[in-house]
Amino acid sequence: MDMRKYYFICLLALQLFANFPFLYAQQTLTLEACREMALKENKKIRMAQNERQTAALIKRTAMTHYLPKINFGGGYMRTGSDIKLLENDLFLPAVPYNTIDPQTGRFNPEALKDPATAMNTLVLNPQTGAPVTDASGNPVFKNYAMLPADKLVLERKNLYYAGFSVMQPLFTGFKITEANRIARRAENISGKNVLLVKAETIVKTDEAFWRVVSLQEKVKLAHSYEKLLDQLVTDLLNMHGEGIITRNDLLKAQVKQNESKLKTLEAENGLALSKMALAQIIGLKDTGIEVVPGTMEEAPLRTDSLMPPDISPENRAEISMLKEKVGIMESNKNIERAKFMPDIALAGSYGWMNPNPYDGLKEEFGGDWNVGVVVKIPVFTWGERKYELNAAKLKKQKAQLELDEAREMIDLQIRRSRYQYAEALKKAEMAKLSKQQAAENMRVTKDNLREGISRLSELLEAQTQWESASSTYIDALVEVKTTRLELEKSTGQIYRYVP
């Protein structure tokens, strides 16, 4: 093989491999693919989904308030002094057996009125025979049992306690029920918020997509316009060489040629920036993307087809969220009203103590259980509950007013979007006609210039008009897409694009 051919093949292969990463990085995306990627990668959607999961956990937490709460507690205490159960020695009178009622097992004071019993039990005045009384007027007994105070001293300085407690609410004025309703409504709001954020993401994605499409078409238009001027300048150079036109005519065309090159550069830079914006929305780091617009000039849908009879503000996620907010404010009002009612709960516990109070305070753990009903009745709070209830009523009224206002604003938005879409359709129709007329005018002017009927300035003006009409037509087609999207957003039909 000839060495020159060999070197040529090697250089060609190196050039292809050098360009291969760029070719590999180029991605061609459709509108549906961009939407899917945006819904998957958008960070706001992830945050909204996290909020929905949080609301679901809060709802499960609210459900647990119906169930009993079981706690375990314990403690240790060391005392600095001994615990004395009696201040002084205690003297207990000794009574005969016949003074105790056999049926009740209690002391019967009437039995002391018997003279024989009184003589054997009480101290009698030898002169009067009446019982002797102390300073308090109590009769003095002959015999007393002494309970010494120094023997009833708790010398244990280390005290321990441990036990389980159970609390089951029986009646709380329906506060638990309303709290669960609030949690369910909050979860519904978070779910609607995910739907709303996804819809807004689709809107932003579509707007960025059609912005790229618009600039792609304008770049193509700029190249076509530049190509026309390049061909015109080439023809004029030949005509100037033959002395048919003046140099001034040639310079006019060259000025237009330079202006077209600048417009091409501006369009390419704008396209690069719009691709970067689209890549950021759909979660791509590489901006080497191409979009497939499909058929931009497809037959647009009429306004009537986008406005079915069942269209109303109630289809919007914002209205559903505000309805749930009104429900939450109603539950808050009920909770404030429930503060006027008693709270009733069933309580029970089992605990251990050391020293053991159930067996002579021995140094060991002794246990016991107890069950009871706890009632808490609010009596007087200086009007606090009344003020909080009135505040809750005002908050509910505010939420209802927000809902009514939102309905009115959405209804106005639907009407405005419908008018804008109808106007965009009319603009696109007129822009298409203007483009066709400008193209025909440019063709006729070019033929007339060749025949010497028209001047060069007329051709340059006709080409400029064609370029402007073509650019306006591109803008009109994109405006049809974006205004249709706004109409679908205002009517709630945008949600059908959300999986």
DSSP per residue, 461-491: HHHHHHHHHHHHHHHHHHHHHHHHHHHHHHH
Instruction: Give the predicted TM-score (pTM) of the model.
Output: 0.75
Q: Please, are residues 478 and 300 in contact by the beta-carbon 8 Å criterion?
A: no
CATH 1.20.1600.10 in the chain, residue ranges = 24-67+172-342+377-497
User: Looking at residue 269, what is its pLDDT?
Assistant: 93
How many angstroms separate the first and last alpha carbons of the chain? Answer: 61
24-67+172-342+377-497 architecture in CATH? Answer: Up-down Bundle (1.20)
User: Looking at residue 140, what is its pLDDT?
Assistant: 86
Report strand pairing: 83-84 vs 153-154.
antiparallel
Closest CA to 484 of 243, 282, 255, 307: 307
User: Looking at residue 356, what is its pLDDT?
Assistant: 85
User: Looking at residue 79, what is its pLDDT?
Assistant: 82
d(CA 442, CA 461): 9
User: Looking at residue 16, what is its pLDDT?
Assistant: 40
Distances (CA, A) of 178 to 182, 293, 335: 6, 52, 7
User: Looking at residue 69, what is its pLDDT?
Assistant: 95
- What is the tens place of the pLDDT at every residue in 134-163? 888 888 888 888 888 887 777 767 889 999
CA angle 214, 24, 478 (to 5 degrees): 10
Is the sign of the CA dihedral 347, 351, 355, 358 positive or negative? positive
User: Looking at residue 9, what is its pLDDT?
Assistant: 43
User: Looking at residue 287, what is its pLDDT?
Assistant: 62
Phi and psi, residue 316, nearest 5°: -80, 145
In 3-state terms the chain splits into helix, strand, coil percentages (rounded to 5) of 65, 15, 20
User: Looking at residue 154, what is its pLDDT?
Assistant: 74
User: Looking at residue 311, what is its pLDDT?
Assistant: 74
- What is the tens place of the pLDDT at every residue in 92-130? 888 888 888 888 888 888 887 788 888 888 888 888 878
Q: Which positions of the chain have pLDDT values less than 70?
A: 1-26, 156, 243-245, 286-287, 293-310
